[in-house]
């Protein structure tokens, strides 16, 4: 979508002029640019004094319409470490359900002169709806079953840190593909970066047409794992664990859980990933999740703060009048 | 109450020595002073770098005993943009219901050396009770059916910005006058500033003796609107919508909702206001609320942050040893 | 436990290498050092400009798995006044109950590069469990029926400020000794400091073997009070008020409530203390709690912020490369 000559044309739909609503619409060089930017924040965050003041005086509002302790913490730390004034609006457990429309909430936040709004919402498309109504960049922190772009970016950074380039990597994403915004964003991101993406789920949880996103579909986890460089497990949502979609958690683990025995089918140095929080003993066994040399699960959390710092920095460059990426 | 010779005598009950508990007790020049002060913050808030450090090192506690996402956000941003350390205590959804008395809570906050305490409480008079027990200024962010002074100030600033002076302006306030602290504070404020205040409600929702506050009472909305310069709609609380006070939301809209047809009775350039959150299609129609040239609803939110910055600044001048308003 | 020659040996279990999990394991000179350190913060907090930047750029996470408005506020203010980036994670009312293990939560917080984690948890031992899994110091803000060390330290500072040295002081702790982490930490702390500690409770609420912690047990409150210098009342938890442990609140007050008549048995200048929030008219009468010259209850709150500042400062000295206490 971006031409080689003019790398950041006005037509770049999702980024950065209107924020970061999804991986869809990002060119691969835009993704790589964000990964490159994040590396300075990985280094900063490992120092005792992890503060940069480039967002000083800017206002970031984290508007979470759906509970998410760890994603909220990650965004809050990212904003504060960049020196911004950060305020959280946790609607799920609060009162802004007085019948106000989502658009009225959005224009209210906008009128308080936010410089970036981070939104998590239970409805697919809610973030785009808000982004269309406000003047500042909007970051999607997960909307319904649509996208969770910063999760995909932090996963990509984790993989790149461990494996180098994406070309030639076979990456398996296993779990509830039907309902997972993490899966959607990751497929789009990793495919754009040139990896071979294999997705795997019980037949009842494979959305039709998913191949068009740039992946190969498996329903046999053992086959999907064959020679894989990265195994990314998805969280099984409690509400899907009974009936309709899977027979039982025990059955699920038997067929789609990442066990030590099963991991042998992947490459000897295959990386194990999970976006958290984990259901230990269901989609992933503890002895796999805790492998010191192979599991990148803790590293993913660390990369999360860095990626969010990169996004907040890059998306607010225009308002700060900073040269470079606009 | 303030004599011309000594503009800020010790006897000025509500402000600023004990904080801002209500509009009642404020002299009109005190109101005007706060509006004047707020204008610098309106300008600052429109800049990318909207930070002033005059409250650096001061502690502001937002103690909200009643849920209010947008008012809390507004106060939190106001404090942070002035450089204060801001902490929120959201009691409605928390644990300080262990049987502790309100006064014990107040003295506890005081012992933590707050420099200003912002309070929202469901009981009328609770804010004054707390103000009497603490050493620092207390700001009323809404108490029961008593007052909501910063709402009235932000409304006055919005009107002044659009219309200039208050003398000669006919301002209609329509809705649940009986239970609305917004109405009370606005009547007191606008009457003190010299406007002609018309209030309008169903007969069951007109408190007796309200005329003594300086307004004219209407029960026919069409008549109240005749030649009005400003139309301020009040939010209809859900719990009043059935039975007792009004027959039904539909009936209410028919008689007291601001529709496009009805607005024609006001002046051609009449300003439309609502404190939010709106019940679209009940007390106000969407095509009125969203009129780009007439609706000031979004502007009210913007003025809210500026007014709260002005109040926090002015009320903490004494502790900061700053000359001027004391 | 610490030898005079080498004051801070590697074997000092609880402090400061792994944070502050309990008073148990602290040497008396370590306790005194923290009290001494806190005094500068008592002075700073009384100034309008109460900000020190020594923790600038450091991240403090307050992870509260159990509701506690006042303790959370106290820690939040302590961190902010030292210039740290403070984030709160209130799990009790949030979502991190998705089945994630406590250890996974701990390693997640750790991966975000916290420099200190403050934890309140309803299970005894949970804080130590977390402390063993993270790289940064952990502060116990109360865990189950185990310890609440900063409460004991703030109580000790309050007593020292009023009474000078601890030798020769008779201190009564009265209330639910069985379930109180406040009592446990206070007994350990005050005994280590050289005071005579008398504990008093209904027989059903005296844990067996409590004398081994360095105190004398009473079940008759009048006898315990005889000639006491300090009377520290414990909060009676609502859930213990009926049946099993005490017959009724009224009966409890009759035998173990601090009334004006009963206080006469203590020394004329005996200090009255309570960790708050108080059940007025049950464990303590209002005319005692509010004695201007004798009650230190408000002072305890003030000392709380100072003690927490001292702990956060001292515990992060190692990561900040500061000389002195390591």
pLDDT digits (tens, 9 = 90+) for B230-271: 999 999 987 766 667 788 889 999 999 999 999 999 999 999
Q: Are residues B186 and B127 in the same domain?
A: no
Residues in chain A, pLDDT under 70: 1-18, 92-99, 240-243, 323-326
Q: Based on the domain organization, do C27 and C106 belong to the same domain? A: yes
Range of the domain at C228: 149-297
| Residue appearing with tokens 């003019």 | A6
pLDDT by residue (tens digit) across B47-76?
Answer: 999 999 999 999 999 999 988 889 999 999
Rounded to the nearest angstrom, the minimum Cα separation between A36 and chain C is 19
Please give the pLDDT value at position A7. 35
Phi, psi of A196 (to 5 degrees): -90, 115
In a domain, B326, yes or no: no
Does A80 touch chain C if contact means CB atoms closer than 8 Å?
A: yes
Q: Does C88 touch chain A (CB under 8 A)?
A: no
| Pick among A63, A85, A134 to test the B interface (most B CBs inside 10 A) | A85
Annotated binding site of A for L-aspartate: 98, 181, 235
Q: Which residues of C touch B99 (CB under 8 A)?
A: 238, 277, 279
Residue B156 sits in the same domain as residue B46? no
CATH of the domain at C28: 3.40.50.1370
Residue C67: the pLDDT is: 83
CB spacing of B94 vs C50 below 8 angstroms: no
> Of the candidates C31, C297, C39, which has an alpha carbon nearest to the alpha carbon of residue C150?
C31
Indicate the average pLDDT of chain B.
90
Tell me how far apart the alpha carbons of residues B153 and B185 are, in angstroms, rounded to a whole number: 9
Contact A50 C113 (CB under 8 A): yes
Are A81 and C59 a contacting pair at CB < 8 A? yes
Q: Which residue has tokens 């029960």?
A: B219
Domain contains C3: no
Question: Do B242 and B230 share a domain, yes or no?
Answer: yes
The residue among A97 and B152 whose pLDDT is bigger is B152
Beta carbons of B124 and B146 less than 8 angstroms apart: yes
- Residue A257, domain member (yes or no): yes
Q: What pLDDT shows up at residue A251? A: 92
When divided into structural domains, chain C yields a total of 2
**Do A210 and A250 have their domain in common?**
yes
Residue A7 within a domain: no
Q: Are residues B143 and B153 in the same domain?
A: no
Low-confidence spans in chain C with pLDDT less than 70:
1-18, 92-99, 240-243, 323-326
The distance of A135 to chain B (nearest Cα, Å) reads 12
Sheet containing A170-174, strands listed edge to edge, beginning at the edge strand earlier in sequence? A215-218, A196-200, A170-174, A230-233, A271-273
Determine whether the interchain pair A301/C111 forms a contact, defined as Cβ–Cβ distance below 8 Å.
yes
For residue B314, the model assigns a pLDDT of 95
pLDDT number for residue C303: 98
* Pairs of CB atoms within 8 A across A/B: 82
Q: Which residues of C touch B57 (CB under 8 A)?
A: 47-51, 81
Chains with 3 or more CB pairs under 8 A to chain A: B, C
Q: Is B209 a domain residue?
A: yes
Q: Give the pLDDT confidence score for residue C93 in this predicted structure.
A: 53
Of A90, A279, A299, the CB nearest to C99: A279
pLDDT reported for residue B25: 87
* CB contact residues (below 8 A), chain C span 282-301, against chain B: 298-299, 301
Domain assignment present for residue A2? The answer is no
Q: Does a structural domain hold residue B185?
A: yes
Note whether B140 and B157 are same-domain residues: no
Q: Is B92 on the interface with C (CB under 8 A)?
A: no
Beta carbons of B98 and C277 less than 8 Å apart: yes
Do A188 and A143 lie in one domain? The reply is no
Q: Which of A316, A117, A83 is nearest to B48 (CA)?
A: A316
Contacts of A80 in chain C (CB under 8 A): 59, 85, 87
Nearest CA in chain B to C280: B100
Average pLDDT, chain A: 90
The ipTM assigned to this model is 0.92
Shared domain check, A164 and A291: yes
Three-state DSSP at C304 gives helix
Residues B154, B137 share a domain: no
Tell me how close the Cα of B124 comes to any Cα of chain A, in angstroms. Answer: 20
Q: Which residue has the higher pLDDT, B12 or A56?
A: A56
Q: How confident is the model at residue B109 (pLDDT cuts 50, 70, 90)?
A: very high
pLDDT at B245: 79
Nearest CA in chain C to A46: C113
B6 within some domain: no
Distance CA B282, CA B254 (A): 9
pLDDT in tens, B160-204: 999 999 999 999 999 999 999 999 999 999 999 999 999 999 999
User: Does one domain contain both C253 and C281?
Assistant: yes
B183-187 — which CB contacts under 8 Å span 24+ positions? B183/B234, B184/B145, B184/B146, B184/B147, B184/B148, B184/B213, B185/B22, B185/B23, B185/B147, B185/B148, B185/B149, B185/B151, B185/B152, B186/B151, B186/B152, B186/B155, B186/B232, B187/B213, B187/B214, B187/B215
Please tell me which of the candidates C87, C89, C111 has its beta carbon nearest to residue A302.
Answer: C111
Indicate whether C289 and C176 sit together in one domain.
Answer: yes
Chain C residues in contact with B61 (beta carbon < 8 A): 73
């Amino acid at each position: 979508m971006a031409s080689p000559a003019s790398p950041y044309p006005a037509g770049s739909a999702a980024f950065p002029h209107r924020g970061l609503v999804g991986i869809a619409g990002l060119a691969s060089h835009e993704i790589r640019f964000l990964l490159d930017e994040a590396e300075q924040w990985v280094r900063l965050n490992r120092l005792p004094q992890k503060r940069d003041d480039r967002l000083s005086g800017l206002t970031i509002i984290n508007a979470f319409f759906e509970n998410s302790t760890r994603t909220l913490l990650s965004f809050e730390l990212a904003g504060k470490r960049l020196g911004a004034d950060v305020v959280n609006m946790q609607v799920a457990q609060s009162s802004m359900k007085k019948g106000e429309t989502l658009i009225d909430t959005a224009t209210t936040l906008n009128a308080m002169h936010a410089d970036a709004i981070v939104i998590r919402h239970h409805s697919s498309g809610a973030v785009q709806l808000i982004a269309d109504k406000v003047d500042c960049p909007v970051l999607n922190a997960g909307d319904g079953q649509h996208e969770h772009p910063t999760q995909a970016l932090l996963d990509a950074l984790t993989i790149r840190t461990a494996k180098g380039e994406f070309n030639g990597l076979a990456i398996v994403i296993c779990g509830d593909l039907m309902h997972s915004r993490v899966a959607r964003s990751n497929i789009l991101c990793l495919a754009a970066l040139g990896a071979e993406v294999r997705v795997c789920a019980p037949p009842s949880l494979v959305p039709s047409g998913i191949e068009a996103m740039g992946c190969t579909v498996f329903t046999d986890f053992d086959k999907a794992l064959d020679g894989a460089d990265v195994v990314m497990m998805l969280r099984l949502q409690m509400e899907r664990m009974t009936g309709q979609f899977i027979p039982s958690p025990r059955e699920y683990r038997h067929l789609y859980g990442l066990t030590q025995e099963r991991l042998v089918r992947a490459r000897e140095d295959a990386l194990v990933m999970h976006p958290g929080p984990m259901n230990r003993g269901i989609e992933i066994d503890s002895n796999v999740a805790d492998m010191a040399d192979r599991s990148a699960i803790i590293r993913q959390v660390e990369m999360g703060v860095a990626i969010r710092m990169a996004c907040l920095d890059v998306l607010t460059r225009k308002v700060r009048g900073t040269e470079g990426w606009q």
